[in-house]
């Protein structure tokens, strides 16, 4: 089996195949996996849930940048880039996977994570060939893929070829599975990496810090797309993205607007942070994966468009699809049939798995995000009413200048100003997500009816 790419997806595919006894080689264009210290550093709990044996070995000894994000801190900025609200969220009571009650993500630089996970595949018996760029696919006279060709012209043959080569996937392009992304399937994400004093980060974001264990942050504003902040042992990332074709100005200018605003600068000062690296990446953010298999070929992870449609979490989907593709290859090679009819099994597997379930609401979730957090550069700009409305509803009561009942009336009156946009938004973009989520099993109607009954006017006290 040949795997192109030694990111998280390729390494898991190589590991699973090698463990089963398949002769497995995986190619990496970098001098080592993770050489390009790209993002994708917030590791979600599904990785521990689905790969417990492996993930328990990811410790600060092998990955010094590892930091737990037990909660997320949201920052809200108004149109003048003033911070008008901060809120923190720990996992809620409805979380059923017990370990996920103690963390939202574990954060780790990919320059540490990728070599570590590739090492596990090598331990399992896979051959890792670094500094090898796969330039083309080798095809037989019927046009079926039978191998890969390196930049230096070497041809390597395999029964199954797995495209784990990320967003600009040579395997996807040359096999014809995905010759080109549409602009609405792909985002451009500029990001800054800052180094910071470990002790100062601990004081702010550590377990006993001011914002206890809040090593994930989201910055919301009305004039830049929502930005994520991922905090590590000795630094942090701040980045933001939007779909190609949706940018109205240089993407970096939006990031600069955020980074230079007062509240952000305050945070930088508090933890003594220094800019370390500028990165700009592409990230598939799709309503559904592309066609993921053909004769002798399967696409996994970013190459297949698997990052989740709501938040583009991509590391776990790459690992899960890597595992499923390798399991499919093992069976099909053993059966002596790696035709596309046989490899359809891969699609059946991922559709039933966690990643496939995620895409059952792919269209509604991606559309919701597009029209909220990332609508800031369009005329629609939902954040212009969302932020003040949220602020009013959550924070309006913290005011002693009037009797509380008067304040409540003022809040309701103000909130009503935003209702036309909010209601349109709710029915257009929120309802489809709720409908997808509820299916036939849950109905909110009885509770809603009860609520309406309780809203009848009460007799006034004399």
Ligand X SMILES: Cc1cc2nc3c(=O)[nH]c(=O)nc-3n(C[C@H](O)[C@H](O)[C@H](O)COP(=O)(O)OP(=O)(O)OC[C@H]3O[C@@H](n4cnc5c(N)ncnc54)[C@H](O)[C@@H]3O)c2cc1C
Contact set with ligand X (CB under 6 A):
4-10, 27-30, 33, 39-42, 44, 133-134, 164-166, 170, 189, 191, 230, 239, 281, 283, 301-303, 307, 312-316, 318
**What are the strands, taking DSSP E only, across 130-234?**
134-139, 145-150, 155-157, 161-163, 186-195, 216-220, 227-231
Nearer to ligand X, 258 or 303 (CB): 303
Residue 174 has which token pair? 């040359």
Q: Count of CB atoms within 10 A of residue 380's CB? A: 14
Nearer to ligand X, 194 or 418 (CB): 194
Is residue 301 within 8 A of residue 169, CB to CB? The reply is no
Label residues 437-446 b or e (16+ Cβ within 10 Å = b).
Answer: eeeeeeeeee
Is residue 323 within 8 A of residue 16, CB to CB? The reply is yes
**Residue 280 C-beta: closest distance to ligand X, Å:** 8
Q: What are phi and psi of 157, to 5 degrees?
A: -105, 145
Q: Count of CB atoms within 10 A of residue 207's CB? A: 9
Find residue 13's DSSP bridge partners: none
**Residue 70 C-beta: closest distance to ligand X, Å:** 16
**Residue 45 C-beta: closest distance to ligand X, Å:** 11
Q: What number of residues does the chain have?
A: 462
**Residue 368 C-beta: closest distance to ligand X, Å:** 19
Nearer to ligand X, 227 or 361 (CB): 227
**Residue 188 C-beta: closest distance to ligand X, Å:** 9
Burial class (CB in 10 A: 0-12, 13-18, 19+), 367: middle
Half-sphere exposure of 3 (CA within 13 A, CB side): 39
**Residue 105 C-beta: closest distance to ligand X, Å:** 7
Find, among 66, 23, 63, the residue nearest to 156 by Cα: 23
Is residue 235 within 8 A of residue 271, CB to CB? The reply is no
**Residue 173 C-beta: closest distance to ligand X, Å:** 10
Nearer to ligand X, 114 or 392 (CB): 114
Nearer to ligand X, 41 or 383 (CB): 41
Which residue lies nearest ligand X, judged by its C-beta?
Answer: 314
**Residue 154 C-beta: closest distance to ligand X, Å:** 12
Nearer to ligand X, 307 or 388 (CB): 307
Nearer to ligand X, 75 or 281 (CB): 281
Alpha-helix residue ranges (DSSP H) falling in 248-314? 251-259, 262-270
**Nearest 10 degrees: CA dihedral of 396, 401, 407, 413?**
-80
Nearer to ligand X, 185 or 191 (CB): 191
């Amino acid at each position: 089996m040949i795997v192109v790419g030694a990111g998280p997806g390729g390494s898991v595919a190589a590991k699973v195949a090698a463990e089963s006894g398949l002769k497995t080689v995986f190619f990496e264009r970098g001098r080592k996996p993770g050489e390009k210290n790209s993002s994708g550093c917030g590791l979600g709990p599904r990785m521990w849930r689905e790969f417990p044996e492996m993930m328990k070995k990811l410790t600060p000894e092998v990955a010094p940048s590892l930091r737990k994000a037990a909660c997320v801190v949201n920052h809200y900025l108004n149109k003048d880039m003033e911070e008008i609200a901060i809120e923190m969220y720990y996992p809620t009571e409805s979380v059923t996977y017990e370990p996920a009650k103690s963390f939202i993500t574990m954060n780790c630089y990919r320059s540490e994570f990728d070599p570590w996970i590739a090492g596990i595949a090598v331990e399992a018996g896979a051959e890792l060939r670094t500094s090898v760029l796969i330039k083309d696919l080798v095809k037989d006279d019927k046009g079926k893929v039978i191998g890969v060709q390196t930049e230096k012209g070497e041809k390597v043959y395999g029964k199954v070829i797995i495209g784990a080569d990320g967003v600009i996937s040579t395997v996807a392009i040359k096999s014809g599975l995905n010759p080109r992304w549409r602009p609405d399937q792909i985002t451009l994400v500029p990001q800054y990496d800052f180094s910071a004093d470990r002790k100062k980060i601990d004081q702010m974001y550590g377990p006993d810090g001011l914002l206890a264990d809040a090593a994930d942050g989201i910055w919301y504003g009305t004039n830049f797309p929502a930005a994520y902040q991922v905090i590590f042992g000795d630094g942090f990332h701040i980045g933001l993205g939007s779909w190609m074709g949706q940018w109205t100005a240089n993407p970096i200018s939006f990031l600069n607007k955020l980074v230079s605003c007062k509240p952000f600068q305050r945070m930088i000062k508090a933890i003594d942070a220094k800019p370390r690296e500028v990165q700009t990446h592409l990230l598939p953010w799709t309503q559904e994966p592309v066609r993921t298999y053909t004769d002798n070929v399967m696409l996994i992870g970013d190459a297949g468009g698997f990052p989740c449609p709501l938040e583009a979490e991509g590391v776990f989907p790459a690992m899960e699809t890597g595992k499923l593709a390798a399991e499919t290859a093992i069976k099909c090679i053993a059966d002596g049939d790696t035709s596309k009819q046989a490899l359809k099994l891969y699609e059946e597997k991922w559709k039933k798995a966690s990643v496939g379930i995620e895409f059952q609401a792919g269209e509604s979730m991606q559309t919701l995000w597009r029209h909220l957090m990332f609508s800031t550069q369009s005329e629609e700009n939902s954040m212009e009413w969302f932020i003040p409305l949220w602020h009013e509803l959550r924070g309006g009561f913290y005011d002693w200048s009037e009797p509380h009942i008067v304040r409540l009336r003022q809040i309701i009156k103000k909130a009503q100003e935003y209702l036309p946009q909010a209601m349109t938004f709710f029915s257009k973009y929120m309802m489809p997500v709720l409908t997808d989520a509820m299916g036939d099993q849950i109905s909110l109607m009885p509770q809603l009816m009860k609520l309406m009954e309780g809203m009848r006017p009460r007799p006034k006290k004399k």
